[in-house]
């Protein structure tokens, strides 16, 4: 059995592609999901990857869910904090609830996912943390003050974790996907989506598997000196 990898939001979209890529690379994968039981059951049936339901926005639920994963599969050496939501609205229309939901899931959710695993990684002197940020955390986005704040926050998290984890053999890195062909992007109004695609020099949306391959590299034993970095995969839409 290979190392155990936990992928939050791992049964749909980019997360599902990451779960599958890590399984193909020899990891024993646990895919967390929040609510869509049907999609999770279909994902397990199709891939053989175990799914675990909890809300990453809830610290106690995350701790209990992770304890269950470790009881079933063994210590988690690799964690991919991927779970995320959008509640897009121009700032003047954004409600405190839209702000809070996105902060709680996308930003506090990263804390809730990594924090319970951190002591074990320090003890075992090995760990791989990857956070799925976004091009919109790098450049901002009209209608996404909440989401962009969380995705920029992810980059602060990994740069700080990298400094704390390095002497324990733990790396923390981010992937910033551009616009990828997932349900989240398909939910953007068609006209807006068309104008976004027109602004991508590659002339197309990215594929979830293209993000998964970045993650597979970052979590590999070979990537031990890559720490605190960000891989941008956005079809040349934006350069940092």
Q: Annotated catalytic sites, by residue? A: 147
Given 89, 166, 223, 233, the residue binding ligand CAA (CB under 6 A): 89
Task: Look up tokens 């400094």; give the residue.
Answer: 163
Pairing label, strands 50-53, 230-233: unpaired
Which residue is at the shortest CB distance from ligand CAA? 143
Given 189, 190, 222, 239, the residue binding ligand CAA (CB under 6 A): 189
User: Which of these ranges, 6-14, 60-68, 121-129, 143-151, lies near ligand CAA under the rule CB under 6 A?
Assistant: 143-151
Answer yes or no whether residue 179 interacts with ligand CAA by CB under 6 A: yes
Q: What is the closest distance, in whole angstroms, from the C-beta atom of residue 54 to ligand CAA in the complex?
A: 23
Alpha-carbon gap, residue 25 to 40, rounded angstroms: 21
Alpha-carbon gap, residue 224 to 218, rounded angstroms: 8
Distances 55 to 8, 40, 83 between C-alpha atoms, Å: 9, 14, 9
Answer yes or no whether residue 203 interacts with ligand CAA by CB under 6 A: no
User: Which of these ranges, 16-24, 49-57, 82-90, 224-232, lies near ligand CAA under the rule CB under 6 A?
Assistant: 82-90
Alpha-carbon gap, residue 108 to 157, rounded angstroms: 11
Answer yes or no whether residue 141 interacts with ligand CAA by CB under 6 A: yes
User: Which of these ranges, 120-128, 130-138, 157-165, 207-215, lies near ligand CAA under the rule CB under 6 A?
Assistant: 130-138
The residue (of 3 and 87) whose beta carbon lies closer to ligand CAA is 87
Q: Which residues contact 214 (CB under 8 A, 6 or more apart)?
A: 175, 231, 233
The residue (of 27 and 179) whose beta carbon lies closer to ligand CAA is 179
The residue (of 109 and 165) whose beta carbon lies closer to ligand CAA is 109
User: Which of these ranges, 10-18, 20-28, 36-44, 86-94, lies near ligand CAA under the rule CB under 6 A?
Assistant: 86-94
Containing H/E element for 161? Answer: helix 145-165
Alpha-carbon gap, residue 234 to 240, rounded angstroms: 11
Q: Specify the 3-state DSSP secondary structure of 6.
A: strand
Answer yes or no whether residue 93 interacts with ligand CAA by CB under 6 A: yes
Using CA of residue 205, residue 210, residue 211, residue 212, what is the dihedral sign? positive
Helices then strands (H, E): number in the chain? 11, 7
Given 24, 41, 192, 236, the residue binding ligand CAA (CB under 6 A): 192
The residue (of 135 and 158) whose beta carbon lies closer to ligand CAA is 135
| Contact of 196 with 2, CB cutoff 8 Å | no
| Residues near ligand CAA (CB under 6 A) | 86, 88-90, 93, 134-136, 141-144, 147, 179, 184-185, 188-189, 192
């Amino acid at each position: 059995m290979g190392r155990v990898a936990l992928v939050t939001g791992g049964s749909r979209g980019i997360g599902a592609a990451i779960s599958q890529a890590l399984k193909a690379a020899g990891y024993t994968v646990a895919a967390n999901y929040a609510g869509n039981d049907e999609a999770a059951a279909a994902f397990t049936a199709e891939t053989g990857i175990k799914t675990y339901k909890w809300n990453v926005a809830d610290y106690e639920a995350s701790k209990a869910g992770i304890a269950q994963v470790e009881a079933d599969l063994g210590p988690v050496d690799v964690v991919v904090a991927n779970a995320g939501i959008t509640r897009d609205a121009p700032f003047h229309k954004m409600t405190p609830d839209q702000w809070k939901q996105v902060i709680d899931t996308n930003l506090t959710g990263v804390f809730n996912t990594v924090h319970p695993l951190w002591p074990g990684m320090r003890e075992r002197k090995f760990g791989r943390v990857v956070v799925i940020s976004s091009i919109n955390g790098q450049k901002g986005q009209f209608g996404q003050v909440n989401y962009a704040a969380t995705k920029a926050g992810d980059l602060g998290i990994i740069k700080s974790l990298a400094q704390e984890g390095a002497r324990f053999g733990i790396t923390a890195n981010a992937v910033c996907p551009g616009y990828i062909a997932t349900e989240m992007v398909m939910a953007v109004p068609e006209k807006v989506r068309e104008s976004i695609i027109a602004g991508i020099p590659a002339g197309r949306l990215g594929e979830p598997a293209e993000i998964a391959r970045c993650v597979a590299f970052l979590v590999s034993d070979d990537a031990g000196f890559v720490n605190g970095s960000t891989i941008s995969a956005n079809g040349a839409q934006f350069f940092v």
